Structure 1
Amino acid sequence: MTTEVRSLREFKMPDVGEGLTEAEILSWFVKPGDTVTDGQVVCEVETAKAAVELPIPFNGVVEKLHFPEGVTVDVGTVIISVAVAGEAGAAAPAAPVAAPAPEAPAESAEPERREVLVGYGPRTGTAQRRARRTTTTKVTATKQAPAAPAPVAPVAPAAPAPVAEVPGGERPLAKPPVRKLAKDLGVDLRAVTPTGRDGVITREDVHAHAAALAAPAAPVAEAAVAPVAEPVLAPPAVSAAGDVRVPIKGVRKATAQAMVASAFTAPHVTEFVQVDVTRTMKFVRRLKESGELGRDVRVSPLLIVAKALLTAIKRHPGINAQWDEAAQEIVLKGQVNLGIAAATPRGLIVPNIKDAGSKTLAGLATSLGELVETARQGKTSPADMQGGTVTITNVGVFGVDTGTPILNPGEAAILAFGAVRELPWVHKGKVVPRQVTTLALSFDHRLVDGELGSKVLADVAALLERPKRLITWG
């Protein structure tokens, strides 16, 4: 007697960050009837920290999507059910599989399962890309007594539509920001030739492919600054009186809660100083023109401010600390994880550069550029927003002179960098026009007293007035 062996597996909403309890489903990439493979990204969700792509950990055919897009789901709740081929070994030894029709040769047994990195999928050297199908895979077994159990080979998939494949047939490897860029530019990653390490597709690969498809081809330099489409949000509710109600969720909800907790937990003190940054602005122009930090490295005044703050922290490590309420202790952190406040379409986030204090100016510039670009794409990972020790907020990009920044929860200090303006300034005994900015340093008065806070702020100002001191002080 021939029996059909088929089982249903459920994929639950995972905790993609530390301690998160819920996530909103932003978009589905599959529908019922689609074939999915181990490591294939099936949906994108937004947590209180970032937007994350979720890969499914098994093969099968989508049976049901339990929630539509735009719904917030608790961690641990089933979000998708997949019909998978069962294993006919419970009642009797596995028997040879009867092929339903002479199709293409069956694929070899799947290689060993590897850990999946969100946004990448599993990497193997022999795996072949499975075709998308709209029919359910069936496995038949006949009760026999063979001399020895034979391995069960998966049924060969139907012939796929002709699409470009990457070498080796693997799912294209690319970071989430690169996938988002490819989606915005209408580029099929399977048709892109990777040049990154280990066959990873880079932003430059996507831009180059997009330029090649254009008619006439656009210069790569122009494609690199193509605007990124913001996520499409549902229209807010409008009352008869014209009031607009916007739901607070995701990143904005987490930011609001964190700021309230910080403002009413840590006693804030803010100090201000005006700084002549004329030499710093000349230093930035020189680095840009010379390219000594690297051809593709973005150099900005924020880079020099970050390096100045890191140098000041090295001279006064007491400000790189954390308050332990339970133990009633001050914890001096072993490394500086420098946070950079970034405004994104989903709200304010503060990713950080790990161990920023150990980086050279060139290394810091590279890390800063990657951090900002990833944040703009809305693909900052939860890990990149954990463990920060001190933060910079660049309010100057909005034309704002200064402010009183609120501490990022768990951190002892935050530096606001204001707009750089040409102002009359006394320089060498004469009033002349100079490039001037205002710095504001907020700190937790439980950990940082006025003397320590003032020394750190004064050091940052001195380094920006004479950036050559970065070499001697560092």
Structure 2
Amino acid sequence: MSVKEFPLPDLGEGLTESEIVAWKVSVGDRVELNQIIAEVETAKALVEVPSPFEGTVRALHAEPGQTLDVGAPLVSFEVEDGADDGVDDSVGDDLEPADAAVDAVEQARVLEPVVVGARAEDAADAPSEIVGQGAVSAVATPTKEERHEVLVGRGPKEQSGQRPHRRPRSGRLSAPIVRERAGGDQGASSGAGETRLAASGVRRRTAEAMVRSAAVPQVTEFLTVDVTRGIRLLDRLAAEPEFRGRRVTVLTLAAKALCIALAATPDANARWDDATDEIVTPPGVNLGIAVATDRGLVVPNIRDADGMRMPDLADAIRSLVETARAGRSTPAELTGGTVTITNVGVFGVDAGTPLLNPGETAILALGAVNRRPWEHKNAVRLRHVMTLSLTFDHRVIDGEQGSRLLRDIARILADPASALAVA
């Protein structure tokens, strides 16, 4: 028998650490090749890590709630000498992080998202609380030769003289992570019954991102608009053959309006490059939809949303929702956004001051759609009214540009035919 050590693999997207959420195996368990052995959380997603070996678990090198650096020992396995475990013994124990795990992690999953974006009137049946179970990463069993290349890696590490060490964080070694602080426990000055929750990878990185965002000179403007005609359009579209069976909501209409309005104010889709003090304009609109999870905020995006017809955009939004519901949002889908839209209206909120997603110049928040007394054709009538909130980076666009973008979005929602004037 020989011992094989499996280090925490590089989970992609430049991430350097992960938190152990749960072990799927125990010391002494017999595991198969590609069997899920652990659930770890990166800054972007919850990931299931498969075993690169067939053998017996000899040691688990971390506890739930502990954060490990990439390359730190994760699991030690005891394998039979000469057994077909996919490992060339001549390579030795010092191996690169297993690429098979990396392949599996490409299917990194985000669990239990709450999709922030649906028509307020449809909040009862909107996917506002989407609970996923975390899809198991499917990895095909390769040949022995392929397993050597894929599971083991490219060869021995450069001998550095020492291995990376575990990097525990304060308060992260307790299991469960939520701990009741009784009076006198570690000098707690508050009363009994206090609980503390160690921030998870997603929530911690979200907090860091929001701190960075707050350092940006950003401005929020508000505009309340009568969207009765927009609501009527949605009702008419629902009966059209091309839209039949598609979920077309205020979010869909607002997303289309934002994409159209950006054509007249393209700098709102650009970003400020801190390293070069340049304004970088991408070739298209990657429209982010803010998604809240119990671990923090994530923003998956729809690539090239500006080139989509409204039926296609409706399908893309629905697909984004279904992907999140099934826990299939990958780290790649959570990066590269250029502008974001969030719907706080599904929670009954009229308006807010959303913080920018770092690296973006604008974020549009949709408030609740309510029937309110509103002046219409020289009379006060009950109309569908909502408030739009637009936060923008004042380094990239100024007040005139931000106001124009918000006005154009509002005009399209109030009178969809006006899209012809700004398209």
Write the letter of the residue equivalent to 2:353: T
Q: Tell me the equivalent position of 2:55.
A: 60
- Give the unaligned 5+ runs of structure 2: 84-98, 113-129, 139-174, 184-190
Structure 1: distance between partners of 2:400 and 2:389 = 15
Shift of residue 33, structure 1, vs aligned partner? 4.2
Q: Distance in 2 between matches of 1:116 and 1:19?
A: 12
Q: Is the 8 A contact 2:287 2:340 kept in 1?
A: yes
Quote the residue 2:390 is aligned against: 441
Q: 1:118 aligns with which of 104, 113, 118?
A: 104
Alpha carbons of 1:270 and 1:325: their partners in 2 closer, same or farther (altered >3 Å)? same
2:224 to 249, 254, 274: 274
- Structure 1 residue 237: Cα displacement: 2.6
Alignment CA distance shift 1:181-1:443 (3 Å): closer
2: CA distance, partners of 1:233 / 1:359 = 46
Of structures 1 and 2, the one with the larger relative CO (CA 8 A, separation 6+) is: 2
Query: 8 Å contact 2:9–2:71 — kept in the other structure?
Result: yes
Q: CA separation of 1:21/1:115 partners in 2, compared to 1, >3 Å: closer, same or farther?
A: closer
Q: 2:276 aligns with which of 327, 333, 356?
A: 327
User: What is the CA–CA distance in structure 2 between the aligned matches of 1:119 and 1:415, rounded to whole Å?
Assistant: 31
1:75 to 63, 67, 70: 70
Cα 1:402–1:77 shift into 2, 3 Å: same
Using the TM superposition, give the Cα deviation of residue 56 of structure 1 relative to its aligned residue in structure 2, in angstroms.
2.9
Residues 285 and 56 of structure 1: CA distance in aligned 2, closer, same or farther (over 3 Å): farther
Summarize the Cα distance change of 1:116–1:262 in structure 2 as closer, same or farther, 3 Å threshold: closer
Greater shift after overlay, 386-395 or 72-81?
A: 72-81
**Cα distance per residue 1:451-472 (max 9 Å; x no partner):** 2111111111111012244577
CA distance in 2, matches of 1:249, 1:115: 21
Range with greater deviation from structure 2 (274-283 or 38-47)? 38-47
Structure 1 298/59 Cα, relative in aligned 2: closer, same or farther at 3 Å? farther
Point out the more displaced range, 250-259 or 438-447. 250-259
* Counterpart for residue 378 of structure 2: 429
Kept after mapping to 2: 8 A contact 1:52/1:381: no
Q: Deviations over 1:289-337 (max 9, x none)?
A: 4463352x33221111111101111232121111112212111111211
- Equivalents in 2 of 1:291, 1:85: separation in Å? 63
| Superposition CA RMSD, Å | 3.3
The partner residue of 2:197 within 246, 254, 263 is 246
Contact 2:365–2:390 (CA under 8 A) maintained in structure 1: yes
What secondary structure, in the 3-state scheme, does the structure 1 residue paired with 2:57 have? Answer: strand
Separation of aligned partners in 2, 1:188 and 1:371: 19
- Length-normalised TM-score, structure 2: 0.73
**Of 432, 454, 458, the match for 2:403:** 454
Q: 2:307 aligns with which of 358, 362, 365?
A: 358
Structure 2 partner of 1:407: 356
Using structure 1 for the length normalisation, give the TM-score.
0.66
Q: Is the 8 A contact 1:393 1:416 kept in 2?
A: yes
Letter of the 1:53 partner, please give it.
E
Whether the 8 Å CA contact 1:48–1:250 is kept in 2: the answer is: yes
1-side partners of 2:103 and 2:299: how far apart? 22
Report the residue type matching 2:242 in the other structure: E
1:90-127: per-residue Cα shift (whole Å, max 9, x none)?
xxxxxxxxxxxxxxxxxxxxxxx989632699xxxxxx
Aligned twin of 1:162 = none
In the TM superposition, structure 1's runs of 4+ consecutive aligned residues that sit over 6 Å from their partners are 113-116, 174-178, 187-190
Equivalent runs, 1:301-380 vs 2, <5 Å: 301-376=250-325, 380=329
Question: For residue 344 of structure 1, what is the amino acid of its counterpart?
Answer: T
1:41 alignment partner, one of 36, 40, 45: 36
Residue 356 of structure 2 aligns to a residue whose secondary structure is coil
CA contact (8 A) 1:51 1:379 kept: no
Counterparts of residues 133-172 of structure 1 (less than 5 Å): none
Q: Against the structure 1 CA distance between its residues 69 and 188, is the aligned structure 2 distance closer, same or farther, given a 3 Å change threshold? A: closer
Change in CA separation of 1:177 and 1:39 when aligned onto 2, cut-off 3 Å = farther
Amino acid at match of 1:65: L
Which residue does 1:300 correspond to in 2?
249
SS in 2 for 1:315: coil
Q: Kindly state the Cα deviation for residue 22 of structure 1 after the two structures are TM-superposed.
A: 2.0
- Please say if residues 276 and 435 of structure 1, whose CA atoms lie closer than 8 Å, have aligned partners that are also in contact: yes
Shift of 1:386: 1.2
State the percentage of identical aligned residues.
49
Closer, same or farther: CA 189–26 of 1 in aligned 2, 3 Å: closer
Partner residue of 2:338? 389
Q: Secondary structure at the match of 1:363?
A: helix
| Aligned mates of 1:11, 1:286 — CA distance in 2 | 58
Name the CA shift for 1:378/1:239 in 2 (closer, same or farther; >3 Å). farther
Matched letter for residue 260 of structure 2: T
Give the number of the structure whose alpha-carbon radius of gyration is greater. Answer: 1
